[in-house]
């Protein structure tokens, strides 16, 4: 029998691009399941869950699905309603064609205030309506206000009657279990000489009364019979016999040559950048925007590149040999595209020149201009007292102001007509000894 595994969930949520953490609808009907497991751990955002047509004997491991609105458990082996108190948003529950004998367990659904529709409780409509006052649809029929008032009026009498019938059913069910267990101990099948198959074959499980055991053994027999005829067949091919078998993907020719394969049917562009700065082959693959990167695998080889998306292969033969160790892979956060840069094997990747500062670029631009087009040079001159006819010698300017070196007592410089006069410090001037002199 099948189990609910991570691989099974990914196959069932292809409509959501293989993502299960934000899945809102999941269909696991007719998967030969015997246990509800792992769903509340991996798919916490589920709103719709289909589990009909399995061999599930117990409702369990669903209490953490706070957003679950519709649960279909029809055609299973459930005998008691339980473990749904945590499904706060549950609105519709389908239990058609089950074996519910503990009818008072329906009162556990009082913890589901939004439950409006319930199926499969024929003959006990009055009791269910009284036990679940918030119910709006029962067995596909709308619950009227008159029915509610009448059911509440006779609720105690109806419940006592239900309990008596329930005790009788439990005794009958225990005896049925013992008989079915004894029948299953016998030989699984007897053949009348036709090789163990066909109309002459008689299986002991077929003698079982209509019960959860009968349904479970029937499912097991179908799966085992299919595996015996063809071991390569899975339970999926058994449940869907008209579905075509998956074609094997051929990645290499008879002589070992690499073939171009696009099993994933993804759009792509493959181009060679012959520019001296790049000299590489670039592959752009249109990967689904919201696809988890863990479902994408890239394998770069010297003569071909292979991209695997959700188990499906895109393989392309390259025109030139590339260097796999120098290849880089990037994925766009906006479009989801996959970009693969593959440098050629006989090329050298050149470093990108650093951009010069704006100030240096301006200097380089001015120096490259012809002389005729160069802007006129601005000459800054030192302001000198027009009364002085000679220039000031800047070599003798010190941090002490306009003082002179080796000057005479009258303040004149030797051999010069310029008179250096000391100037008073500006207001607020501070002489900091830690500041070095200007010369």
Q: Are residues 223 and 258 in the same domain?
A: no
CA angle 197, 201, 207 (to 5 degrees): 135
Name the residue range of residue 167's domain: 1-246
Mean pLDDT (whole number) for 223-229: 66
Distance CA 55, CA 37 (A): 13
Question: The whole model's pTM is what?
Answer: 0.47
More confident residue, 87 or 395: 87
* DSSP string for residues in 75-121: SS---S--S-TT-TT--EEE-TT-----GGGGGGGGG-TT--EEE--
The pLDDT of residue 119: 64
The pLDDT of residue 113: 82
Q: Are residues 178 and 314 in the same domain?
A: no
Q: Which of 6-15, 396-405, 415-424 has the highest mean pLDDT?
A: 6-15
pLDDT in tens, 106-126: 888 888 888 777 765 545 788
Domain boundary among 210, 231, 246: 246
The domain that holds 294 is classified in CATH as 2.60.40.790
**Is residue 375 very low, low, confident or very high in pLDDT (cuts 50, 70, 90)?**
low
Spatial contact of 113 and 91, defined as CB atoms under 8 Å apart: no
Residues contacting residue 164 through CB under 8 Å, at least 6 positions apart: none
Q: Are residues 24 and 65 in the same domain?
A: yes
Is the pLDDT at 373 greater than 60? The verdict is no
Mean pLDDT (whole number) for 350-373: 50
Q: Are residues 332 and 389 in the same domain?
A: no
Domain total in the chain: 3
Q: Are residues 133 and 76 in the same domain?
A: yes
Q: Are residues 195 and 341 in the same domain?
A: no
Give Rg (Cα) of the chain.
Answer: 44
Dmax over Cα atoms in the chain, in whole Å? Answer: 146
Q: Are residues 181 and 308 in the same domain?
A: no
Residues contacting residue 416 through CB under 8 Å, at least 6 positions apart: 390, 393
Residues contacting residue 246 through CB under 8 Å, at least 6 positions apart: none
Query: What φ, ψ does residue 68 adopt, rounded to 5°?
Result: -65, 125
Mean pLDDT (the chain) is: 75
pLDDT in tens, 54-88: 889 999 999 899 999 999 999 888 888 999 988 98
Q: Are residues 80 and 186 in the same domain?
A: yes
Is the pLDDT at 190 greater than 50? The verdict is no
The pLDDT of residue 369: 45
The pLDDT of residue 1: 63
pLDDT in tens, 269-324: 998 876 656 688 999 998 877 777 888 899 999 999 999 988 888 999 998 899 99
The pLDDT of residue 246: 57
Q: Are residues 200 and 344 in the same domain?
A: no
Domain boundary among 218, 246, 274: 246
More confident residue, 13 or 399: 13
Q: Are residues 259 and 177 in the same domain?
A: no
Percent of the chain past pLDDT 70, that is, above it, reads 66
The pLDDT of residue 65: 92
Q: Are residues 373 and 421 in the same domain?
A: no
Domain boundary among 195, 224, 246: 246
**Is residue 102 very low, low, confident or very high in pLDDT (cuts 50, 70, 90)?**
confident
Q: Are residues 158 and 298 in the same domain?
A: no
Mean pLDDT (whole number) for 359-366: 47
């Amino acid at each position: 029998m099948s189990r609910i595994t991570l691989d099974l969930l990914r196959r069932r949520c292809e409509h959501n691009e293989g993502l299960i953490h934000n899945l809102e609808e999941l269909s696991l009907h007719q998967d030969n399941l015997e246990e509800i497991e792992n769903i509340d751990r991996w798919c916490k955002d589920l709103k719709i869950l289909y589990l009909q047509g399995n061999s599930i004997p117990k409702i369990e491991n669903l209490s953490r699905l706070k957003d679950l609105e519709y649960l279909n458990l029809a055609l299973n082996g459930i005998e008691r309603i339980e473990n749904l108190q945590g499904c706060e948003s549950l609105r519709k529950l389908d239990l058609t064609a089950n074996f519910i004998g503990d009818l008072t367990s329906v009162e556990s659904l009082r913890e589901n205030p939004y439950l409006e529709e319930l199926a499969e409780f024929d003959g006990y409509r009055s009791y269910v309506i009284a036990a679940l006052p918030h119910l709006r649809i029962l067995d596909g029929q709308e619950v009227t206000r008159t029915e509610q008032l009448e059911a509440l009026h006779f609720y105690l009498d109806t419940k006592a009657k239900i309990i008596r019938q329930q005790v009788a059913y439990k005794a009958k069910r225990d005896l049925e279990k013992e008989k079915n267990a004894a029948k299953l101990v016998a030989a699984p099948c007897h053949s009348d000489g036709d090789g163990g198959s066909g109309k002459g074959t008689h299986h002991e499980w077929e003698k079982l009364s209509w019960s959860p055991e009968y349904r479970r053994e029937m499912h097991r027999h179908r799966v085992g019979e299919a595996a015996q005829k063809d071991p390569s067949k899975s339970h999926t091919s058994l449940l869907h016999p008209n579905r075509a078998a998956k074609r094997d993907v051929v990645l290499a020719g008879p002589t070992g040559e690499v073939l171009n394969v696009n099993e994933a049917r993804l759009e792509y562009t493959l181009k060679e950048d012959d520019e001296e700065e790049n000299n590489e082959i670039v592959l752009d693959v249109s990967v689904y925007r919201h696809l988890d990167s863990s479902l994408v695998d890239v394998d770069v080889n010297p003569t071909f590149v292979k991209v695997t998306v959700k188990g499906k292969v895109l393989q392309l033969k390259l025109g030139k040999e590339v260097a796999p160790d120098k290849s880089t892979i990037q994925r766009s956060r906006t479009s989801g595209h996959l970009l693969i840069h593959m440098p050629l094997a006989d090329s050298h990747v050149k470093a990108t020149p650093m951009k010069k500062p704006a100030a240096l670029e301006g200097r380089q631009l001015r120096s490259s201009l012809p002389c005729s087009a160069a802007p006129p040079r601005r000459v800054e001159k030192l302001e000198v007292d027009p009364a002085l006819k000679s220039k000031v010698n800047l070599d003798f300017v010190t941090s002490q102001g306009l003082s002179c070196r080796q000057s005479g007592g009258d303040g004149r410089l030797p051999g010069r007509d310029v008179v250096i006069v000391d100037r008073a410090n500006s207001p607020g001037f501070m002489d900091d000894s830690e500041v070095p002199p200007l010369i």
